Amino acid sequence: MGSITPGKLADLILVEGDPLNDISAIRKINLVMKEGAVYYPAEIHAATGIKPFAAPLRPAAVKP
């Protein structure tokens, strides 16, 4: 358990939709954050020739 606040590191995924209401939302990953690095699956898919499930989402920069 923890919190997502500026200055903290978190491993998380950002999906389009609410997987509690629709489990298929977990197939629409827009962003993965692992050990402080941010990955955009749509960019990785394009580089490997895979059709992305969702367009990349660019969140606004967080200012401390």
Residue 17 domain flag: yes
**Most distant CA pair in the chain, distance:** 37
Round to whole Å and give the CA distance between 15 and 48.
Answer: 21
pLDDT of residue 62: 53
Residue 15 domain flag: yes
- Side-chain half-sphere of 15: how many Cα atoms within 13 Å? 12
Range of the domain at 23: 9-33
Residue 55 domain flag: no
Residue 45 domain flag: no
Give this prediction's pTM.
0.57
pLDDT of residue 1: 63
β-bridge pairing 37-39 and 29-34: antiparallel
> In this model, does residue 64 exceed pLDDT 60?
no
Query: What total number of domains does the chain contain?
Result: 1
In single-letter form, the type of residue at position 14 comes to L
Residue 52 domain flag: no
**Across 6-19, average pLDDT:** 84
What pLDDT digit, counting tens, does each position of 15-59 carry?
888 999 999 888 888 888 888 788 888 777 777 777 766 666 666
Residue 22 domain flag: yes
Residue 43 domain flag: no
